Amino acid sequence: MRFWQPILALASCAACAGAQVREDVQLLELKGQVAAQAGQIAAQQRRIEELEVKLAAVAARAEARPAAAPAAEKAAPPHGSAAAPTHDPRPKLKTVKLGEGRRRRRDYNPVERAPLIPSSISIKEPDQETLERLEAAAVDPGIRAELDADHAFAQAVAKLNRGELQIAESELLAFAGEHPRHTAADNAIYLAGLIREHNGDCAGAVALFERVPLTYPAGDAALPSLVEKGRCLTRMRRKDEARELFAKIVREHPEGVEGGAARQLLMNLDIESGRH
């Protein structure tokens, strides 16, 4: 029964991949909304700067107009002209400079006068169709291929758990052939070997169990494959080879789970042969 525990764990890992993609899509949507808000702020800032330039130009023209009036007043009338009346009945008018009060103050800060941008963003959960469309557009081909591989392995394991052994074996071996660099490739070969061992095809199972440590020596299925190879050798009456293999596992991995299993199987062989 312990061999089915990694199967369920691997299936759970594969199922988590879909949830990760949804979180990535939500993150992309939030980044898009933040980028849109940043664009609005930049546009408002440019508009403020343009208005400041226009305001400065109007103020400059307004200051230039009153300067021409004193020059005209200083011009002397020609000699012999009629004298100006002693009293002008018209009331004196106060000269008002255009743009007075409209000049830009030195303490004026255009940022403080900028319109407020909402700091909160309302997030709406996309429907399934939109989510699938975003997933298809956002995920690059490399990630898509990895997710497809995870899905294929999870489907094969699910069929194995349902007892569809023949189909599961074919799909597991196909998965290992199509995705040899996948982290579950060694587990796929190991599980296919277990199916053959269960069906009584020990010779075919040994071929798969030998393949795992040769192809994936650092994989987590390398030691379990050696233990199961020893079991098959025992069933095939090749007990000397099985005893040598179990002894090697015990020497190299005395504290591991596989080392304990090999030690027990080695003791069983000794009991059967009358050594104990």
Q: Band of the pLDDT at 177, cuts 50, 70, 90? A: very high
CA 189, 190, 191, 196 torsion: positive or negative? positive
Domain presence at residue 17: yes
The DSSP annotation for 9-47 comes to HHHHHHHHHHHHHHHHHHHHHHHHHHHHHHHHHHHHHHH
Q: Does 147 share its domain with 264?
A: yes
Domain presence at residue 18: yes
* Lowest model confidence (mean pLDDT) among 22-36, 164-178, 194-208: 22-36
Q: Does 114 share its domain with 220?
A: no
C-alpha torsion angle, residues 250, 253, 258, 259 (rounded to 10): 30
Domain presence at residue 134: no
Q: Does 232 share its domain with 256?
A: yes
Domain presence at residue 169: yes
pLDDT tens column, 87-136: 666 666 666 565 555 555 556 565 566 566 566 656 667 678 877 776 66
Q: Does 49 share its domain with 121?
A: yes
Count up the domains in the chain and report the number.
Answer: 2
Q: How many CB atoms lie within 10 A of CB 62?
A: 15
Q: Does 118 share its domain with 196?
A: no
pLDDT tens column, 206-249: 999 999 999 999 999 999 999 999 999 999 999 999 999 999 99
Q: Does 224 share its domain with 159?
A: yes
Q: Does 268 share its domain with 145?
A: yes
Domain presence at residue 36: yes
Q: Does 116 share its domain with 165?
A: no
Q: Does 115 share its domain with 171?
A: no
Q: Does 99 share its domain with 2?
A: yes
pTM of the entire structure?
Answer: 0.51
Burial of 110 (0-12, 13-18, 19+ CB in 10 A): middle
Q: Does 8 share its domain with 113?
A: yes
Q: Does 54 share its domain with 163?
A: no
Question: What is the three-class DSSP state of 120?
Answer: coil
Average pLDDT of span 11-19: 52
Tell me which residue range forms the domain holding 64.
1-73+92-125
Q: Is the pLDDT of residue 14 over 80?
A: no
The CATH number given to whatever domain includes residue 215 is: 1.25.40.10
Residues 6+ apart with CB under 8 A from 145: none
